């Protein structure tokens, strides 16, 4: 009987260890990642919904920052935000980067070359962590047609081609969040930030991508 109790206890402890050792996912990004304007953001932002999509084998954290950019020479570079340091300290297994919408603003867009350079450096900053995370980068969602000086023309003609160059040079896989959202303007009330339902679309796209990756 005593041996049986010990066996049950060991099984339970093993289960707890497995649960605590879930794959850690860091969602790095701007206000769209943060969940700006979303009611009940803690449950309805895309990282929160991604957690539910992926289940208990994963631990998803939201490191989004309102107004953040990829380029360092802008008004609010992600590099200078506490969330960037927190994302590094989190020691993630997977990093999902979605930065570029705010870079499209006329006052922020310096050049494709600088955007690419800074993006490559950020990817490498995560890859050099002891946890050696797999990094994925995202094509930004469209603006409908534009707001907050974020311009869809710049997203389409400047940012997206630059992100594709980054993916090629760094051998990083792309998650296309732009195409699935092209016909989803009704889920973006202020023309830039998706509502909870729109964030759910993003979460499902990311979840399906990660599940496909894990199945390879």
Domains and CATH numbers, the chain: 23-215 (3.40.50.1110)
Dist. CA 209–CA 136, nearest whole Å: 10
Is residue 13's pLDDT more than 70?
no
Q: Which whole number is the average pLDDT over 114-121?
A: 98
What is the pLDDT at residue 21? Answer: 56
In the predicted structure, residue 18 carries a pLDDT above the cut 50: no
- Contact (CB, 8 A) for 64 and 27: yes
pLDDT of residue 147: 60
Banded pLDDT at 151 (limits 50, 70, 90)? confident
Residue 127 has pLDDT above 50, yes or no: yes
Q: For position 10, what pLDDT does the model report?
A: 40
Per the CB < 8 A criterion, the answer to whether 98 and 46 are in contact is: no
Token pair, residue 209, equals: 């991508």
Contact between residue 25 and residue 61 where contact means Cβ atoms under 8 Å apart: yes
Q: What's the distance, Cα to Cα, between the start and end of the chain in Å?
A: 44
Is a pLDDT exceeding 70 seen at residue 15?
Answer: no
Does pTM top 0.75 for this prediction?
yes
Report residue 146's pLDDT band, with 50, 70 and 90 as the boundaries: low
Helix then strand count (H, E) for the chain reads 10, 7
pLDDT of residue 148: 76
Beta carbons within 8 Å of 119's beta carbon, 6+ residues apart: 70, 97, 99, 137, 162, 163, 166, 170
Smallest CA-to-CA distance from 193 within 79, 70, 45, 74 is with 45
Percent of the chain past pLDDT 90, that is, above it, reads: 84
Percent pLDDT > 70 in the chain is 89
- Check residue 56 and report its DSSP letter: T
The CA-atom distances, in angstroms, between 144 and each of 26, 119, 200 are 27, 25, 18
Q: What digits encode the pLDDT tens for the residues 40-53?
A: 999 999 999 999 99
Is residue 113 within 8 Å of residue 107, measured between CB atoms? no
Whether residue 14 is predicted with pLDDT greater than 60 in this model: the reply is: no
Q: Give pLDDT tens digits for 69-106.
A: 999 999 999 999 999 999 999 999 999 999 999 999 99
Per-residue pLDDT of 159-198, as tens digits, reads 999 999 999 999 999 999 999 999 999 999 999 999 999 9
Give how far Cα 6 sits from Cα of 15, 16, 17, Å: 14, 15, 16
pLDDT at 125: 98
């Amino acid at each position: 009987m005593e041996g049986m109790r010990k066996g049950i206890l060991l099984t339970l402890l093993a289960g707890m260890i497995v649960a605590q050792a879930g794959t850690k996912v860091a969602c790095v990004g701007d206000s769209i990642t943060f969940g700006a304007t979303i009611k009940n953001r803690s449950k309805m932002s895309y990282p929160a919904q991604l957690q539910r999509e992926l289940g208990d084998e994963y631990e998803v954290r939201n490191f989004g920052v309102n107004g953040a950019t990829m380029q360092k020479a802008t008004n609010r570079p992600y590099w200078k935000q506490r969330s960037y340091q927190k994302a590094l300290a989190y020691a993630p297994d997977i990093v999902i980067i979605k930065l570029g919408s705010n870079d499209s603003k006329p006052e922020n867009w310096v050049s494709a070359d600088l955007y690419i350079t800074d993006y490559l450096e950020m990817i490498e900053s995560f890859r050099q962590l002891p946890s050696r995370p797999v990094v994925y980068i995202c094509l930004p969602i469209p603006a409908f047609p534009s707001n907050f000086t974020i311009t869809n023309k710049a997203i389409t003609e400047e940012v997206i081609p630059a992100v594709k160059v980054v993916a090629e040079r760094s051998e990083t896989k792309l998650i296309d969040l732009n195409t699935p959202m092209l016909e989803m303007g009704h889920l973006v009330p202020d023309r830039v930030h998706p509502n909870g339902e729109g964030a759910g679309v993003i979460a499902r796209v990311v979840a399906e991508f990660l599940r496909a990756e894990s199945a390879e």
